[in-house]
A and B are shown apart, each in its own frame.
Chain A
């Protein structure tokens, strides 16, 4: 499936693992928090990249110590109206210093992506049925901003 990463359309090498998966697939995988918590040793022992998926309500503050283990943090937007993950993304970047990929998954549409990118999300699984090129273009909807955020360390009045 195509993915937008760092403002380019790329092939996605990562596989999402369901919460109730019996066997872990080979290669790079993204697992839900519950799977990480219950299968830490198994996950740590395998080869291949490891990513963690957080749902709204699963605060990244809970896994700060584990962050170095993950190459990807996937923030799920089960519904784009649920904006908790915008705060999670900023905290991951600005407070917890996470340098890996943060990707938005779930109900990810072009009209939210400008804000998501500002909060530090750098990869987007754009929801099915929507043009990925249009979504890419929407990252440039605005050329100026007022606030400091993950993308800009200073608010406009200090720039």
Chain B
């Protein structure tokens, strides 16, 4: 993985010093809260309902075991013994004290981490495919480009006061696991007809109040032009993005209001000026960064691995975990392991300090000391020998981290909701937990197959409800929490925005409504058909009628 050089380390250390001064000025009253707010927000520090929340960047979701141990240490020393992995591959701490934050940042800097631009109207943490580098359908590992983008966007002097936040994602594979269609800019690695690898560029996707699917602005951008083309988009957005209305200031609104053709023309005109500038990436720079992401030295292993096959045959629970929580690896004899952070009774994405340390140890023992965070709020040990899987499974199970529910109904994405967030209209974590507990019958879950439930406590859509096969949105009705259901969303290659099916449900009615939806699916599906596919085949109407039918 990428390691800091002097430049990276100096910037992060100087940022700690700068923020320490800003906190000091706030504590002495030299800065008002109004003046301090945008400064702390540039550094991932939010004031929530009960306390400050600190969001720490995990660039493209990649962590070393040493970094994860530091995250555990921070949870223990400065927070309440846990952290929360987010839908943008970051981690959040919910209870830090303002006075401690500079020290937390200093400890992060010691392990080449920071909270730079994890909030604010700037370019946010760059996200990517959590299976990057290890998946067979990959055209090229996107992480070097995500890292190049991280460096270029860090303290960009021109683009740090944008109209609104700006999220960039990279996908390097044929199948999109990075939800590129729902980012301000999504880069999909593609090959052109000359066999050259570059990027298809999608702009203006996003969730929030006005969900939109990103539009293809350019079919092919050469790698060396990654930054020049991005700079052109950013400059057009900085100059012309709306600043008169908070809800209309994302780039998706600019693209929508100008129309794709006009937006593209503005970008191309701007690019014509900068295309041959010093910002063109050099082969040497691409090679320098790519060298940090060369494949691990995998052993040559012949499949089938007898001990592994035997363990699966003998142990049903292990076999279920293999089937649901592991994925084919490009190297024979290895598998990619998802560590579920969706155990029933636990808030989705939450991990204790002890669990983080245990996962760090397991990464060292079985997976080259690396861990990835996913946008679905799980962790990944990407390089595990099949022969080690039984041991790993047992050890994960001992930590409550082996729930064999990845991709199932229980693998719910969920925002912090009204338990933490000052914007929320309704609680989301308790509802997600109730749903997971209610449907805690594994045979039934497996029979339901792939099902993505995503839940947000307000219209800002941090829980990505728009792209849930089933989306749940908390709304406030005269002081009471209600929940609206959307159907048919997807963040994958078949990107789609879910449609609201009708009036919201009270908290007590939401699980019965899900029961009826799933019952209708089971009764209607064809052999091997996913929930989403049945829905697309028969349409929303019969589902809706079934859910709202009075008995």
- A-side residues, CB < 8 A to B, are 56, 59, 80-84, 86-87, 90, 95, 109, 111-112, 114-116, 118-119, 141-149, 153-158
Contact = CB atoms under 8 A, between A and B. Distances in A.
A81 B161 CA distance: 6
The 6 A-B residue pairs with the shortest CB-CB distance, nearest first, are A83-B161, A118-B157, A157-B285, A115-B157, A86-B158, A144-B10
28 contacts: A56-B243, A81-B38, A81-B121, A83-B160, A83-B162, A84-B238, A86-B157, A86-B160, A87-B235, A87-B239, A109-B35, A111-B39, A115-B158, A118-B157, A119-B157, A141-B17, A142-B11, A142-B14, A143-B14, A144-B11, A145-B155, A146-B155, A147-B156, A148-B277, A149-B157, A153-B278, A157-B284, A158-B278
A54 to B, nearest CB: 12
Contacts of B121: 81, 83
B230 to A, nearest CB: 12
Contacts of A81: 38, 121, 161
B374 to A, nearest CB: 27
Nearest to B161: A83
B284 to A, nearest CB: 7
Contacts of B435: none
Contacts of B22: 111
A87 B227 CA distance: 16
Contact of A86 (B7, B161, B278): B161
Between A111, A112, A149, A157, the greatest number of chain B beta carbons within 10 A of the residue's beta carbon is seen for: A157
A153 B235 CA distance: 18
Contacts of A118: 157
Nearest to A146: B151
Query: Is chain B's interface secondary structure helix, strand, loop, or mixed overall?
Result: helix
Between A114, A144, A146, the greatest number of chain B beta carbons within 10 A of the residue's beta carbon is seen for: A146
B159 interface: yes
Given A144-B11, A144-B14, 14 more contacts: A83-B121, A84-B238, A111-B22, A112-B161, A115-B160, A119-B157, A119-B158, A142-B15, A142-B18, A146-B11, A148-B278, A148-B279, A156-B7, A158-B278
Contacts of A56: 243
A83 B10 contact: no
Nearest to B6: A144
Contact of A142 (B38, B151, B155, B156): B155
Contacts of A114: 157
B514 to A, nearest CB: 42
A109 B39 CA distance: 11
A155 B160 contact: no
Nearest to B231: A147
B282 interface: yes
Nearest to A77: B161
B243 A82 contact: yes
Interface in B246-283: 273, 277-279, 281-282
A116 B154 CA distance: 15
B238 A86 contact: yes
A28 B4 CA distance: 49
B152 A146 contact: yes
Nearest to B9: A144
B127 to A, nearest CB: 19
B157 A147 contact: yes
B161 A155 contact: no
B38 A95 contact: no
Nearest to B18: A141
Contacts of A80: 38, 161
Contacts of B235: 87
A118 B227 CA distance: 18
A108 B101 CA distance: 26
Contacts of A143: 10, 14
Contacts of B15: 142
Contacts of B162: 83
Given A81-B121, A141-B18, A155 B152 contact: yes
Contacts of A87: 158, 235, 238-239
A82 to B, nearest CB: 6
B97 to A, nearest CB: 22
B353 to A, nearest CB: 33
A74 B114 CA distance: 35
A143 B158 CA distance: 17
Contacts of A90: 158
Interface in B473-496: none
A147 B238 contact: no
A83 B282 contact: no
Between A80, A95, A148, the greatest number of chain B beta carbons within 10 A of the residue's beta carbon is seen for: A148
Contacts of B38: 80-81
A137 B152 CA distance: 25
Nearest to B285: A157
A158 to B, nearest CB: 6
A113 B11 CA distance: 17
